[in-house]
C-alpha cells in the first residue's frame, strides 16, 4: 500500500443497507487501499431493511424451511472513501501451545520481531488481511491452565500485557497495509466476568456451548468483554491504526449441540426462558429451531450494538462451519434428534452450526465467514454450501478457513484440487493433520 493522507472513518461513513449488488459473492477486482481507509460491506436494499425492522420487532425468525425464494442479494466489500471494491486475501496467523490453545498474544511468548517479519512477507505476497485468535483463557486454573486475555483469575478485568501485545500486532499490521480480523470467542474467565454470569447463569436449564447465545448471563458477560476489548484498542491506537481492524469476529465457529441443555431434552413442558426473553417448548421441533435462530440474532445484535458506539466504523462478523461437514448434508433439522448421555466429542454427531442465513437476513452483523474442509474425492463444494442454505445467505462473505485432511487425501496434489476455488483467499493452518505445501 502506498502512503497517503489519512482519511478519518467518521468522515466517510458507508451505509450497510444501500443497494450495491455485484455479479459474484466475492468480487474479483483487486486494488491497493490507501493507508487509513476503512472497509465496509454493501448488499442490503432499502426496501429489505424495512422488512428486517418489522421482523426484528416482532421477534419472528426463520423456520428451518426458509423464507425467501429466487436469487439472493449478492454484495461485496468496498472502500468507504470512493466505493471501489475490495477483496480480502490473506491467512490465519496461529501459534498453538503444547496443550492446543491459541498463544500468539500470550505475555512472555509474544514475539514482536517475528510477527513483523511475517507481516512483511504477507505484504510482499500481496495479502491484505490476517485473522488472529484472542484466547479468553481456561475455564479452570489447574496445571494445564492458560490465562489468555483474562490474566490472573482473581484480578478483575482484561490483562493489560495481553492487550498491549494485540495493540502492537495491529500497529505492525497497519504499517504493512494489512487489515486484521480478531476472533473473540466466549468471555474471559476471571472473577469479574464470571461474576457477571452468576445472576443469570441458567443453571439446570442451558449448558455450554448453547449458553453462549442462549443464556442471558453469558450474553451479558460477553457484551461487557467486547466493550472492554474495543475500548482499550480505541484508546491505544491512532485513527489510522484502528481502521486496520477489518471486523471484530464474535465467534470463530458458532455452534449448538443437541447433547446439552436445553436441546438434550424433548419432554413436554420443558420450556426454558432464554436470553431473548422468550421461552421455547423443547418438545416442539419448530420451537427448538426458533429458539436457536432467535437467540443467535439477539446475541449477535447485543454484541454488535456494544461495539459500534465505541468504534463507529467497525464491522462485525461470525464464523460457521457447514452442516455437511458434521454429517448433516440436508441442512438444519430443528436440532433433532437429542442425544442423552453422550460421551466424548459432540462433533460431528450432535453438532449443529448456527444458520448464517439467519444472521445475514435479520441481524446487524455485516457479513459472515464460512469454513470449508473437503472430505475426499467425491467432495462437492456446491453440495457443501447448499447444506448451509447458500441460496438464502445475503450480502458479502469471506471464507476464513479451508483445508484438506490427510485422512481424506493420499497426497498434497490430490488435496490441492478441491481447494483450487479458494486458493487466492486464505492459507491453510499449519497443523499436522492438514496438507500444506512445503
Residue 40, pLDDT score: 62
Q: Which residue did the predictor score with more confidence, 39 or 408? A: 408
The per-residue DSSP string of 214-253 comes to: H-HHHHHHHHHHHHHHHHHHHHHS-HHHHTTB--EES-SS
**Percent over 90 (pLDDT), the chain:** 53
The arithmetic mean of pLDDT across residues 17-45, rounded, is: 39
Q: Which domains does the chain have, with CATH numbers?
A: 89-422 (3.20.20)
β-bridge partners, 76: 42
Average pLDDT of the chain is 80
Residue 39, pLDDT score: 62
The arithmetic mean of pLDDT across residues 112-118, rounded, is: 95
Check pLDDT > 60 for residue 223.
Answer: yes
Check pLDDT > 70 for residue 15.
Answer: no
Kindly provide the residue ranges of all beta strands, DSSP E only, lying in 282-333, ordered along the sequence.
316-321
Taking Cα atoms as reference points, which of 244, 240, 254, 430 lies closest to residue 358?
Answer: 254
The per-residue DSSP string of 412-431 comes to: HHHHHGGGGGGTTTBPPP--
The arithmetic mean of pLDDT across residues 409-417, rounded, is: 78
pTM for this structure? 0.84
Check pLDDT > 80 for residue 28.
Answer: no
Of the ranges 44-53, 68-77, 119-128, 344-353, which is most confident? 119-128
Amino acid at each position: 500500500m502506498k502512503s497517503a493522507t489519512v482519511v478519518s472513518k467518521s468522515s466517510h461513513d458507508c451505509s450497510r443497507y444501500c443497494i450495491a449488488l455485484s455479479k459474484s459473492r466475492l468480487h474479483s477486482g483487486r486494488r491497493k487501499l490507501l493507508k487509513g481507509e476503512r472497509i465496509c460491506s454493501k448488499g442490503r436494499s432499502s426496501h429489505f431493511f424495512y422488512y428486517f425492522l418489522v421482523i426484528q420487532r416482532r421477534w419472528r425468525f426463520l423456520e428451518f424451511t426458509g423464507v425467501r425464494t429466487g436469487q439472493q442479494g449478492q454484495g461485496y466489500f468496498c472502500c468507504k472513501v470512493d466505493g471501489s471494491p475490495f477483496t480480502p486475501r490473506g491467512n490465519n496467523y496461529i501459534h498453538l501451545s503444547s496443550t492446543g490453545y491459541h498463544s500468539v498474544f500470550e505475555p512472555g511468548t509474544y514475539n514482536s520481531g517475528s510477527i513483523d517479519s511475517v507481516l512483511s512477507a504477507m505484504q510482499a505476497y500481496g495479502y491484505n488481511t490476517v485473522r488472529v485468535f484472542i484466547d479468553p483463557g481456561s475455564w479452570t486454573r489447574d496445571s494445564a491452565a492458560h490465562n489468555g486475555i483474562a490474566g490472573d483469575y482473581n484480578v478483575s478485568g482484561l490483562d493489560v500485557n495481553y492487550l498491549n501485545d494485540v495493540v502492537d500486532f495491529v500497529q505492525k499490521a497497519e504499517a504493512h497495509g494489512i487489515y486484521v480480523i480478531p476472533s473473540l470467542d466466549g468471555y474471559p474467565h476471571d472473577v469479574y466476568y464470571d461474576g457477571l454470569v452468576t445472576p443469570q447463569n441458567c443453571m439446570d436449564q442451558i449448558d455450554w456451548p448453547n449458553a453462549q447465545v442462549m443464556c442471558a448471563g453469558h450474553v451479558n458477560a460477553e457484551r461487557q468483554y467486547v466493550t472492554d476489548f474495543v475500548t482499550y484498542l480505541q484508546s491505544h491506537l491512532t485513527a489510522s491504526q484502528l481502521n486496520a481492524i477489518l471486523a471484530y469476529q464474535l465467534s470463530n465457529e458458532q455452534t449448538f449441540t443437541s447433547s446439552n441443555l436445553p436441546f438434550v431434552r424433548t419432554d413436554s413442558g420443558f420450556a426454558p426462558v432464554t436470553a431473548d426473553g422468550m421461552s421455547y417448548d423443547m418438545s416442539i421441533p419448530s420451537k427448538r429451531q426458533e429458539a436457536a435462530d432467535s437467540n443467535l440474532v439477539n446475541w449477535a445484535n447485543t454484541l454488535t450494538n456494544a461495539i459500534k458506539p465505541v468504534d463507529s466504523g467497525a464491522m462485525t462478523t461470525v464464523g460457521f462451519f457447514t452442516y455437511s461437514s458434521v454429517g448433516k448434508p440436508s441442512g438444519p433439522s430443528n436440532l433433532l434428534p437429542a442425544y442423552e448421555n453422550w460421551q466424548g466429542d459432540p462433533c460431528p454427531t450432535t453438532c449443529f452450526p448456527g444458520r448464517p442465513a439467519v444472521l445475514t437476513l435479520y441481524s446487524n452483523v455485516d457479513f459472515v465467514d464460512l469454513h470449508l474442509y473437503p472430505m475426499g474425492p467425491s467432495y462437492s463444494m456446491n453440495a457443501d454450501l447448499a447444506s448451509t442454505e447458500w441460496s438464502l445467505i445475503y450480502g458479502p462473505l469471506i471464507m476464513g478457513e479451508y483445508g484438506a485432511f490427510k485422512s481424506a487425501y493420499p497426497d498434497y496434489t490430490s488435496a490441492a484440487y478441491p481447494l483450487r476455488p479458494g486458493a487466492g483467499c486464505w492459507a491453510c493452518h499449519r497443523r499436522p493433520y492438514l496438507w500444506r505445501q512445503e
